């Protein structure tokens, strides 16, 4: 029976060793963007070991039960069951380690169940990477599976049947011994007898979020996130009703008290262009967008609400807040109840259209756009097969900008219109037809800017220009060198209103969110917007507390006049702050998240 003990102990230790080697490989792979010292490696391994131990105990649970069974009944099929089990376990571990390591440079958060949301449209989900990238990862998964399984197989060979000549008392004794191991394993899996159980946040130890993420076991992270992802609608409960009301009182005043008049007319034709991933740090290579800002209304301190296109689009067009782990766009039962610019303008007699060069079914965008009032949709399927292949994500931006110009000019003698348009070329892998800069990301935005310049010149030459309002705003910002979620300006985005309908050039320096665009636009147009609960007219004198919030994968950041604060929901603490009032900001940010989640649950 000692061989069976060695089998269980060996299986446990091999699993822990694999997870530790996975951490080392993860940090080595990410070393270019996140250089680490030898001490960092040791701290990551030391702090992350608790999750590795917990996950290893999960994996040893079935082998323990089979060993208990072998005390009373033995058949060679038991070892075949173990072999099959370890093939599955080896593949799961290999897939988690390779996927987590490969995706982290793109996402900057650990593997979780949110990646499952992209399986509905795998072509679009993989558009950021090459075929070679995918094949190399597939080979890595298969090779790593084989290596891990071989390690397990050497342990399975230690398993032996209980001696047939042993008395019944011996069998009972060993069975009781194994049974006593079960509660010990459960205690180990949950992380002790305290009220709190094993969780991802317990391994966080550094102000450097990358080191915290490196310590997290990716398989544990994925499994732990399944519970919250299984229910789309997550309600946060930080405060009781009375305290929540006290903290949030006056934060979102939707009233417009006439003040600044930015437009020459209250009924302009409106074109809203969502620029893929365009943080303000890229304006240096976008001279045409800079020129548009100088000629129009430049909201210089606007911050993005989210980190993904599906979330940012909802914030822009519905004036709704984003969430750390939920995507409102994907909640088909909720989107029909959202307010939207399109529906508000429809009531004023506007026609509404939307253009996107990719797959409009990606992240359920089509359902959202139709449900919120866009009457006609133009997307990848409306182009030739040759045009559809001009970009990894679909139709290249110079082609779709040409379509946008045609759409605008088709309304020469028509009633007022709203056209929405999402660009896509300024996205990994930055496959654009220009190479002006060594930095591929710069090339992506420089190329989009050239498209913007051509489009604006076409519009200025058209008879529609005098009554045209064009709004440039990203769906979200993106990581770039030091501009990670921990950087105060990472989510600073351009919001630029240009066109002949702009009264005169202005720079508006008040803090705001992209979700404030809806109320601000409708306020300028004299259209009621009280139903846009979380959108504020920043030109109104009722806007008395300028602040911006941003939600990303299980985190919240907030900016106000006192500085910047980032709160990690996993670690349940402030991880970055430049404000002397960080605690007060954290309370406010969490209250805003709770208020928004409660509002969503009622829709």
Model confidence over 497-530: pLDDT tens digits?
Answer: 999 999 999 999 999 999 999 999 999 999 999 9
- What are 360's two structure tokens? 């409009």
- The residues with which 498 forms a beta bridge, in sequence order, are 470
Residue whose entry in the numeric block shows the structure tokens 């970009």: 391
451 in Cβ contact with 397 (< 8 Å): yes
560: CB partners within 8 A, 6+ apart: 511, 545, 546, 547, 548, 579, 585
Element (H, E) at 496: strand 492-498
pLDDT value for 130: 79
| C-alpha distances in Å from residue 438, one per residue of 371, 442, 443, 469 | 42, 8, 8, 35
253 vs 525, higher pLDDT: 525
- What are 456's two structure tokens? 């604006």
Averaged pLDDT score across all residues of the chain: 89
Strand pairing of 563-568 and 297-303?
unpaired
Reply yes or no on whether the pLDDT at 419 is more than 80: yes
519: CB partners within 8 A, 6+ apart: 254, 256, 319, 529, 532, 535, 536, 537
Instruction: Give dist(CA 226, CA 418) in Å, integer.
Output: 39
pLDDT value for 125: 65
pLDDT value for 235: 80
DSSP annotation string for 82-94:
HHHHHHHHHHHHH
pLDDT value for 243: 97
Residue whose entry in the numeric block shows the structure tokens 């010149």: 457
Instruction: Give dist(CA 361, CA 368) in Å, integer.
Output: 10
- Model confidence at 231, in pLDDT bands (50, 70, 90)? very low
DSSP annotation string for 76-134:
THHHHHHHHHHHHHHHHHHHHHHHHHHHHHHH-S---GGGGGGGGSHHHHTTTS-HHHH
- Model confidence at 325, in pLDDT bands (50, 70, 90)? confident
Instruction: Give dist(CA 15, CA 21) in Å, integer.
Output: 10
Give φ, ψ of 430 to 5 degrees. 55, 45
- What are 329's two structure tokens? 């766009």
- What are 601's two structure tokens? 């649950």
111 in Cβ contact with 221 (< 8 Å): yes
- Model confidence at 260, in pLDDT bands (50, 70, 90)? confident
Instruction: Give dist(CA 255, CA 393) in Å, integer.
Output: 40
102 burial type by CB count under 10 A (0-12 exposed, 13-18 middle, 19+ buried): buried
pLDDT value for 394: 92
Express each pLDDT in 44-97 by its tens digit: 999 999 899 999 999 998 888 887 777 667 667 788 889 999 999 999 999 999
293 burial type by CB count under 10 A (0-12 exposed, 13-18 middle, 19+ buried): buried
Give, in degrees to the nearest 5, the angle at Cα 257 between 255 and 262: 110
450 in Cβ contact with 433 (< 8 Å): no
Which whole number is the average pLDDT over 585-596? 97
pLDDT value for 72: 67
- What are 25's two structure tokens? 């490989």
DSSP label at residue 444: H
354 in Cβ contact with 554 (< 8 Å): no
- What are 336's two structure tokens? 């029909």
250 burial type by CB count under 10 A (0-12 exposed, 13-18 middle, 19+ buried): exposed
Which whole number is the average pLDDT over 541-557? 93
- Residue 231 CB neighbour total at 10 angstroms: 9
- Model confidence at 307, in pLDDT bands (50, 70, 90)? very high
pLDDT winner (highest mean) among 110-119, 123-132, 300-309: 300-309
pLDDT value for 170: 59
Backbone region of residue 207 per phi and psi (left: phi > 0; alpha: psi in -120 to 50; beta: other values): alpha
Q: Which of 495, 412, 415, 422 is nearest to 459 (CA)?
A: 412
**What number of residues does the chain have?**
603
303: CB partners within 8 A, 6+ apart: 491, 492, 493, 511, 512, 513, 514, 548, 549, 550, 559
| C-alpha distances in Å from residue 119, one per residue of 115, 178, 193, 204, 363 | 8, 41, 38, 30, 10
Element (H, E) at 273: strand 269-275
How much of the chain, in percent, has pLDDT values that exceed 70? Answer: 92
- Model confidence at 120, in pLDDT bands (50, 70, 90)? low
- Residue 167 CB neighbour total at 10 angstroms: 9
Strand pairing of 512-513 and 297-303?
parallel
pLDDT value for 338: 94
DSSP label at residue 201: G
Express each pLDDT in 454-499 by its tens digit: 999 999 999 999 999 999 999 999 999 999 999 999 999 999 999 9
pLDDT value for 233: 64
pLDDT value for 1: 58
Instruction: Give dist(CA 519, CA 255) in Å, integer.
Output: 9
Express each pLDDT in 150-188 by its tens digit: 999 998 776 666 554 445 545 666 677 777 777 777 877
pLDDT value for 230: 45
Q: Which of 457, 458, 450 is nearest to 425 (CA)?
A: 450
DSSP annotation string for 177-194:
HHHHHHHHHHHHHHTSSS
How much of the chain, in percent, has pLDDT values that exceed 90? Answer: 67
pLDDT value for 157: 77
Q: Which of 347, 301, 334, 342 is nearest to 318 (CA)?
A: 342
CA torsion angle 342 344 347 351 (round to 10): -20
Which whole number is the average pLDDT over 266-285? 97
Instruction: Give dist(CA 561, CA 540) in Å, integer.
Output: 18
pLDDT winner (highest mean) among 103-112, 253-262, 400-409: 400-409
Instruction: Give dist(CA 446, CA 448) in Å, integer.
Output: 6
Express each pLDDT in 198-211 by its tens digit: 777 678 777 687 89
Which whole number is the average pLDDT over 577-593? 97
- Model confidence at 411, in pLDDT bands (50, 70, 90)? very high
């Amino acid at each position: 029976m000692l061989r069976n003990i060695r089998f269980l102990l060996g299986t446990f230790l091999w699993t822990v060793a694999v997870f530790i080697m996975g951490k080392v490989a993860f940090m080595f792979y990410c070393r270019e963007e996140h250089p680490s010292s030898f001490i960092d490696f040791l701290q990551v391994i030391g702090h992350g070991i608790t999750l590795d131990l917990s996950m290893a105990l999960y994996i040893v649970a079935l082998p323990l039960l089979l060993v208990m069974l072998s005390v009373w009944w033995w058949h060679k099929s038991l070892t075949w069951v173990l072999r099959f089990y370890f093939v599955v376990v080896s593949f799961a571990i290999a897939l988690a380690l390779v996927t987590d390591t490969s995706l982290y440079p793109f996402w900057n958060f650990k593997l979780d169940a949110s990646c499952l949301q992209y399986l509905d449209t795998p072509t679009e989900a993989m558009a950021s990477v090459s075929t070679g990238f995918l094949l190399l990862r597939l080979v890595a998964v298969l090779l790593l599976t084989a290596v891990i399984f071989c390690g397990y197989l050497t342990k399975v060979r230690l398993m032996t049947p209980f001696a047939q000549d042993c008395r019944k008392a011996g069998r009972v004794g060993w069975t009781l011994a194994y049974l006593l191991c079960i509660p010990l394993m459960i205690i180990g899996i949950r992380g002790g007898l305290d009220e709190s159980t094993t969780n991802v946040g317990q391994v966080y130890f550094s102000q450097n979020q990358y080191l915290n993420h490196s310590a997290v076991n990716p398989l544990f992270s994925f499994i732990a996130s399944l519970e919250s992802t299984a229910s789309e609608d997550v309600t946060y409960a930080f405060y009781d009703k009375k305290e929540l009301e006290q903290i949030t009182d006056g934060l979102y005043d939707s009233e417009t008290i006439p003040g600044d008049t930015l437009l020459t007319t209250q009924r302009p034709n409106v074109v809203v262009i969502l620029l893929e991933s365009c943080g303000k740090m890229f304006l240096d290579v976008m001279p045409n967008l800079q020129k548009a800002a100088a000629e129009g209304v430049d909201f210089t301190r606007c911050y993005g609400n989210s980190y993904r296109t599906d979330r940012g689009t909802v914030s822009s067009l519905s004036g709704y807040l984003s969430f750390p782990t939920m995507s409102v766009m994907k909640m088909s039962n909720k989107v029909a109840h959202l307010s939207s610019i399109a529906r508000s303008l429809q009531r004023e007699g506007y026609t509404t259209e939307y253009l996107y060069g990719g797959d409009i079914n990606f992240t359920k965008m089509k359902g959202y756009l139709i449900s919120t009032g866009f009457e006609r949709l133009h997307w990848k399927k409306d182009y030739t097969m040759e045009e559809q292949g001009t970009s990894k994500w679909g139709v290249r931006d110079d082609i779709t900008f040409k379509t946008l110009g045609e759409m605008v000019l088709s309304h020469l003698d028509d009633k007022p219109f709203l056209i929405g348009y999402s660009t896509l070329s300024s996205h990994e892998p930055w496959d654009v037809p220009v190479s002006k800069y060594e930095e591929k990301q710069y090339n992506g935005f420089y190329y989009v800017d050239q498209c913007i310049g051509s489009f604006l010149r076409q519009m200025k030459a058209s008879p529609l220009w005098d009554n045209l309002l064009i709004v440039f705003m990203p769906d979200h910002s993106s990581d770039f060198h030091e501009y990670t979620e921990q950087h105060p300006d990472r989510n600073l985005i351009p919001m630029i209103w240009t066109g002949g309908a702009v009264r005169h050039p202005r720079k508006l320096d008040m803090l705001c969110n992209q979700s404030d665009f809806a109320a601000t636009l409708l306020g300028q147009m004299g259209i009621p917007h009280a139903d846009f609960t979380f959108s504020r007219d920043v030109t109104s004198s009722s806007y008395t507390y300028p602040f911006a919030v941003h939600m990303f994968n299980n985190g919240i950041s907030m900016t106000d006049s006192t500085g910047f604060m980032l709160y990690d929901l996993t670690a349940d603490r402030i991880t970055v702050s430049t404000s002397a009032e960080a605690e007060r900001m954290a309370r406010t940010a969490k209250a805003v998240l709770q208020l928004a989640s409660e509002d969503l649950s009622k829709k």
